[in-house]
Amino acid sequence: MAVQREDGADGAAIWLFDVARGASTRLRSGAAYDFGPVWSPDGRRIMFVSQRERWEIYETGSNGEGDEVLVVKEGEDLVTEDWSSDGKYVMYGAIAPQTRMTDLLALRRGAKSSRPIARARTSFDENFGRFSPDRRWIVYQSDESGRYEIYARSVSVDGTLGGKTTVSVNGGIEPRWPRKRNELFYIRPDNMLMAVEIKPGATLEVGTPRPLFLTRPAGVLRYDVTADGERFLVSVPVEDSTSAPATVVLNWYEELKRHVLSDR
């Protein structure tokens, strides 16, 4: 697994953890602030954000070798979102400098033209975008209703987005769409992890969301799911920060004098 690790005054770095062996390796050395790792479908590359002049998106080999490739650079700060299952497209968010709201965009990786496709530029905050396994749909969270909900939109060959379908019920954030399963996951406002059956195609059939288990908020990215949808990686607090109860003593000086006199 690839994770972002905060190093205090040293900033942040991306680390790779071997789940079976328990070993860890830092992906990149250097002073840059790196975060937001996203695996390529074949596991050979990792896309990430590096804070240099701005938050820009790069990719490099997952073994830490090879040259860094600048994937996206614009006049706004950028964040990584997803990498399509065929490896051809990357999705990212552009943060508007005036409002700090995020807009979703997708780009054909390595194309001669750098013009993004699938623009979702609105006055609302849209982020945590994910491609469907067949890349014909995207899902994301948006606050256009006054609270965050999960929406799905079709994507045509030229990148035009179709109409919206609401996936969540009574709020939702952080959608995840496993590549080998027609089921989507998201977190409800009460921190319950939800699952909903999704049947993509020319139209989208959305089932009724059902609860799986309760999560505990920790960090920005709270969880992830394996490609087969069978295992979850959940971010949890390291420990409870419960303070010991305080004891307040009144008239302590009078009590001290009384004990001193009694000892004499």
pLDDT in the model for residue 115: 54
| Full domain range(s) for residue 185 | 74-263
Encode 242-254: b = buried (16+ Cβ within 10 Å), e = exposed. Answer: eeeeeeeeeeeee
Q: Is residue 201 part of a domain?
A: yes
Residue pair 61/28 in contact by the 8 Å Cβ criterion: no
Exposure string (b/e) for 196-223, b if CB count within 10 Å is 16 or more?
bebebeeebebeebeeeeebeeeeeebb
Residue 119's pLDDT band (cuts 50, 70, 90): low
Inter-CA distances, 201 with 16, 136, 153, Å? 35, 8, 12
Say how many domains are in the chain: 1
**Confidence grade of residue 24 (pLDDT, cut at 50, 70, 90):** very high
258: DSSP letter: H
Q: Please tell me the predicted confidence (pLDDT) of residue 113.
A: 47
The neighbouring-strand residues paired with 140 are 151
Determine, yes or no, domain membership for 255.
yes
Question: Tokens 């552009």 map to which residue?
Answer: 94
The CATH number of residue 177's host domain is 2.120.10.30
pLDDT tens across 46-70, in order? 999 998 888 999 999 998 777 788 9
